[in-house]
Amino acid sequence: MAACRVALLAVAAGAFLARSAIAGDALKQQVDGWRGAHETQILSTFDQLLRFQSVAADPKGTEAAGAYLRRQLEDRGFHAELLTVPNAPPVVFGSLTTPGAKRTVVFYAHYDGQPVTPSQWATPPFDPVMRSGPLGSGEHIVDWRSATPPYDPEWRLYARSAGDDKISQLAFLAAFDALKALGQKPSVNIKVVWEGEEEAGSTHLKEILRANAGKLSSDLWLIGDGPVHPSRRPLLYFGARGVVGLDATIYGPIKALHDGHYGNWVPNPAAMAADLIAELRAEDGRILIPGVLDDVRPASKAERDAVAALPPVEDGLKQEFQIGRSETDESVTDAIMRPALNIRGIRAGKVGDEAANAIPVDAEVSIDFRLVPNQRPEKVRAQLEAFLRAKGWYIATAVPDKATRLAHSRIIKIDWEDGYPAFRSDMSSPPARAVIAAAAGASDQPVAVTPSLGGSVPLYVFDDVFRTPLVGLPVANHDDNQHAANENIRLQNVWDGIDVYAAMIGELDW
Amino acid sequence: MAACRVALLAVAAGAFLARSAIAGDALKQQVDGWRGAHETQILSTFDQLLRFQSVAADPKGTEAAGAYLRRQLEDRGFHAELLTVPNAPPVVFGSLTTPGAKRTVVFYAHYDGQPVTPSQWATPPFDPVMRSGPLGSGEHIVDWRSATPPYDPEWRLYARSAGDDKISQLAFLAAFDALKALGQKPSVNIKVVWEGEEEAGSTHLKEILRANAGKLSSDLWLIGDGPVHPSRRPLLYFGARGVVGLDATIYGPIKALHDGHYGNWVPNPAAMAADLIAELRAEDGRILIPGVLDDVRPASKAERDAVAALPPVEDGLKQEFQIGRSETDESVTDAIMRPALNIRGIRAGKVGDEAANAIPVDAEVSIDFRLVPNQRPEKVRAQLEAFLRAKGWYIATAVPDKATRLAHSRIIKIDWEDGYPAFRSDMSSPPARAVIAAAAGASDQPVAVTPSLGGSVPLYVFDDVFRTPLVGLPVANHDDNQHAANENIRLQNVWDGIDVYAAMIGELDW
C-alpha cells in the first residue's frame, strides 16, 4: 500500500518514483542471485528464439517461432495453445491459474520482427552474435558460450527482434523460472498473448481476440513492447501512437528516356515525388495535408505534467545520433505527442556510379503516419486522397494501362497498409498504480512514466475488445536499433527485464 | 550545286529539304544494292563490336573495343593509331588521304556506352539480340543468322551502345566498304576520331585533341552521335546542349532509427532531399537556382525559324511514351532549347516490401544539368553551391565525421562530374550547306535541320581546339532507349546510316 501511495504521488506530480523499500526489493535481490547463476541457460534460450526467421516475409519461420514459444509455456506447466485465423501467424496463448489469486493479468508481446535487408547487417540478422559493446565503439565479437558468467552487462546480443520484441518473451520465461526456483508463487492468475503479426500491422489481432474474448478476460493487460527511457531509467507507458503506412508509385514515361533529348518536356516522376513530399510535409515535420491535424486531441494537464517531469535526454541523443539539430525545438517526448509523417524510403532511377542520364519510369515513396488520439487511420487515408485529387492526381489501385496513362496528367498508385489508431490509458487506475509500485520495487533507479510511446503498439485493439486497464512495460535499451539493421539488446536490459517481469508475476496486487 | 541551293533555301526558310535529284540519288541506289547483298556481313561486324563491354566501369572492355576499331581501320587501308593519355580510354585515330581531294573531313563518334543495370534488361546488354520489333509490341526474338536477307527493316538489334553510338562506327565502316566495292573514290581526305569516354564526360578529349592538333587539322568535323528526328526524317544538327552532373548525399542520423520513437524530432534525410529538389526545380521544370538562367543566350531568329519548321511530333511522343501531359506546352524542340535540371535518381531508406518504419541514415540524389549557350558548368556549380550555403547547407567533400555532423544542421556531400558547355555552330557556312545537300541526296525523305540536339555531345571541345565548322550527323532511331535499359537500333536506321555516310565520304564537296 505504501508503494501505491508513492505511485499516486508520482503520477500526480509527474515526478519519478524513488525505489520503494518493500518486498519487491528482497525479491529483486533473490531474482538477481538466481539469474547470476543461470546466465548461460537464459541466453541459450534467447539464442534459440532469435534464430527463428519470424518476419512477415517468412510465414514458416514465424510459425516455427510460435510453436517454439507454445512448447516453452507447456514445459512450464501452462495450458498453451495457438489461436489462429486463416492467413495470419498464430497467437500463442497460455494460461496458468494461481490458487487464491483474485486478479488476472495478461502478458502481451510479439514474436515477429521488422523486415530485414541482410546486406546492411554486420552479421546475419538471424544468427545472434554477442559483442562487447555497441557496433562501431571499438567493440569485438564475444564467444559468450566459452566465457565464464557473470557476463559483462554492457555486452550486447545482435539479432533481428532481439529488442523488438523477443526480449519480452525471454524476460517473462526467465522470470517465471526464477520465481519457481525461489519457491515464490505468482500473485495473480497469468495469461499470455504473444502475437506474430505486430510488425505487419496486427491485421488479424482483433479478430482473434474477439473470437477468444472469454478465454482472454482479465483485470489488466501488460503490453511488453518498446524501449525504456533514453536516460536508461525503467519506463512505463500508458499509451502509444497509432500508425498507418503506404507505398506510393508515381508514374513517368513507360520507358526510361534520354534526359537530354526529352528532359524539360517529359514529366520526371522523381521530381514529381519530391514536389509531392514537399507539399505533404513542412521542413519542420508539420503535416500539411488539410484536415489531418483537426482531430488531434490536445494533451491533458496530467499528460503534459508527466512529460515535463521526464529528465532531459536531447543533448545526449544528438551526440548519439550525430545530428546537428532536431526538427523542432521541442523535447523528443513533446515531439512524439504530435502526429508524424515519416518518409521511410524513396526510390527512383539510379544514383552514384549506376546513374544514367535518363528520365526514370517511376518513383516509389514509402510513408508512414504516426497517429495520436483521436485520429483514425481511415480518415487520414481519405484526407490524403482528397488532397491528392484536389492537386490533380489520379489515384490508381493497379499499375495503370496505356489508356489510363494517357488520360491523366499525374498518376499515383497507393498501396495502403492496415493501420490502427493511437490509444492512451488512465494513468491513475488502481491496477496502473499497482504496476508502477511493482516496477519501482524491481529497480535501483527511478521509474519514468509517460503518457505515450512514440512508436506504435496496437493498444486500441485491447481496449476495443476488453475495456480493461493496460500498461506498457518495455525492456529494451533505447539504442537497440529496432526497425533498422543491427538490432541488439544490452545484457543489463535483459537482466532488468527479468527483474521487472518477476515483480509483475510475483508481486502485483491491488 | 542545285542541292546546295535547295539547302540554303531550306535553312533560310526553316523548311525541310526535298530530296534533290543529283548524283547522290544514283549513289544511294548503288549503295543500297551493295548493302542488300551484304546485310549478314554488316550485322556480323556490328555484332562483334557490340559485344565489347565498353563502359566506364570496364576499362578493359573499353580498351578492347578501341583496339578492335583500330584493326578495322587498318584492314581498310587507313593509317590508324590509338591516341592516349594516362587513365583514359584511347581515342582511335585513322587517316586516309584521297589523291586530288582539296578538303579534309574528320568523322567523330564514340565507342563507349552508358552504365548498365543488367537486371533491367530483357536480354544481357552485351549479348546482341535481334527482335522483330520494339520490345513489348508483341515482337519475338529473331535468329537473323539463319534468316535469308534482305532482313525486315523493322527488326531491331538490342544491345548497349547499339544506337549510342556504335552505329556511327558501323555505318562509317560499311559505307566505306560499299564505296570501295562500287569503285567510288572518296571525295575528301578522311580522318576518323572515335572516342571512348563520351558517356563519362569526355574528360580527356580536349587534352588528346590539343596534343594531336596538327594531325587532326581539317576543314569540317562531322559529329556522328544522337538520334534522328522523332518523325523518322534524317536529321542534321548544328549544336548540342552542354551537361554537368552531380551526385549528392544528404546526411541524417548515423544509424537508422525507429521512426515512431524519433520521427518528428530527428531530421529525416529523405524529406530533406525532397524539399531541396522542390527548391531547385519548379513543377514545370524551370530551374529556381538564382542566377542559373541569367547567362542563357536567347535563340536567334534563324534558330527559332529552324525549330518552327520542324514537323510536330508531340502527340506521337505522348502516345509512344504513354504520358498524359508534357511539363510545358512548348514543342519538345522548344523545350530542349532551354536549360534543364533532371533528376536522374533518388535513393533513401527502403520502399515496398523492404520498407521498415525507420528514419533513413541518408538520401542520395543524382542530378544532371543540360546547358545552353552561354552557360558554363563551373558557373552553374558555383551558383548551386552558393544557393545551398544561403539555405544553410554545409557542403562536404567527404563523408562527414562526428564533429562535422554535430556542427552543422544540414550537410550535403556533392560529387561533381566533369561537364562541358553547350555549343551551336553556323548553319549557313559552305561546308554546312554541302553536308545538308549530301544528306538530302542520300535519303528518300526530307532532311530535318535543327540548331541544337537536346542531348550533349562535346562540340565545344572541337570548336575550342580547332575553330573548324562542324555538323551533327545522327543515325539512330529516336526510340532506341539510349541511356536506358534495352537500347536498340532499328535496321532501317542502320541502312539509312550507311547511305548517309556513303554520301559524306563519297560526295561531299564545297
* C-alpha–C-alpha distance, residues A271 and A273, integer Å: 5
Contacts of B264 in chain A (CB under 8 A): 285, 327-328, 335-336, 338, 340, 370, 454
Cell numbers representing residue A57 in the block: 516475409
pLDDT digits (tens, 9 = 90+) for B135-183: 999 999 999 999 999 999 999 999 999 999 999 999 999 999 999 999 9
Cell numbers representing residue B475 in the block: 543515325
pLDDT of residue B126: 98
What percentage of chain A's residues is helix, strand, coil (to nearest 5)? 35, 20, 40
pLDDT of residue B10: 32
B481, closest residue in chain A (CA to CA): A257
B353, closest residue in chain A (CA to CA): A115
Q: How far is B117 from chain A (nearest CA, A)?
A: 7
Give me the sign of the Cα torsion angle A301, A306, A311, A317: negative
* C-alpha–C-alpha distance, residues A403 and B319, integer Å: 9
pLDDT of residue B24: 65
Cβ atoms within 10 Å, residue A118: 11
pLDDT of residue B413: 98
* CB contact B328 to A (< 8 Å): yes
DSSP letter for A164, please: I
* C-alpha–C-alpha distance, residues A144 and A135, integer Å: 17
Which chain B residues in 186-215 lie under 8 Å from chain A, judged by CB atoms? Answer: none
Q: List the single residue in B115, B260, B322 with the smallest CB-CB distance to A402.
A: B322
Q: Are A3 and A440 in contact (CB under 8 A)?
A: yes
The confidence band for B72, taking pLDDT boundaries of 50, 70 and 90, is: very high
Q: Are A164 and A482 in contact (CB under 8 A)?
A: yes
Which chain A residues in 399-418 lie under 8 Å from chain B, judged by CB atoms? Answer: 402, 405-411
pLDDT digits (tens, 9 = 90+) for A169-211: 999 999 999 999 999 999 999 999 999 999 988 889 999 999 9
Cell numbers representing residue A364 in the block: 516509389
Q: List the single residue in A57, A271, A358 with the smallest CB-CB distance to B281.
A: A271
Above 70 in pLDDT, residue B19? no
Q: List the single residue in B247, B340, B481 with the smallest CB-CB distance to A263.
A: B340
* C-alpha–C-alpha distance, residues B120 and B137, integer Å: 18
Low-confidence ranges of chain A (pLDDT < 50): 1-22
Full-prediction pTM beyond 0.90? no
pLDDT of residue B173: 98
pLDDT of residue B23: 63
Taking residues B65-78, report their average pLDDT.
98
Contacts of A326 in chain B (CB under 8 A): 265-267
B129-168 b/e (C-beta count within 10 Å ≥ 16 → b): bbbeebbeeeeeebebeeeeeebeeebbbbbbbbbbbbbb
Cell numbers representing residue A310 in the block: 521526464
DSSP letter for A198, please: G
* C-alpha–C-alpha distance, residues A364 and B351, integer Å: 7
pLDDT of residue A418: 83
HEC letters along A240-308: ECEEEEEEEEEECCCCCEEHHHHCCCCCCHHHHHHHHHHHHECCCCCECCCCCCCCCCCCCHHHHHHHH
Contacts of B349 in chain A (CB under 8 A): 343-346, 366
Q: List the single residue in A283, A357, A455 with the smallest CB-CB distance to B258.
A: A455
Indicate the average pLDDT of chain B. 92
Cell numbers representing residue B478 in the block: 529516336
* Best A259, A288, A370, A450 residue to mutate vs chain B (most B CBs within 10 Å): A259
pLDDT digits (tens, 9 = 90+) for B228-241: 998 999 999 999 99
Taking residues B414-441, report their average pLDDT.
92
Taking residues B265-272, report their average pLDDT.
97
Angle between the N-to-C axes of helices B39-51 and B491-506, in degrees from 0 to 180, rounded to the nearest 10: 100
Which chain B residues in 123-152 lie under 8 Å from chain A, judged by CB atoms? Answer: none
| DSSP annotation string for A428-469 | TSHHHHHHHHHHHHT-SSPBEEES-BSS---HHHHHHHH---
Distances (CA, A) of B439 to B7, B180, B187, B243, B333: 10, 20, 15, 28, 21
pLDDT digits (tens, 9 = 90+) for B341-371: 999 999 999 999 888 889 999 999 999 999 9
Q: How far is B95 from chain A (nearest CA, A)?
A: 32
Share of chain B above pLDDT 70, in %: 95
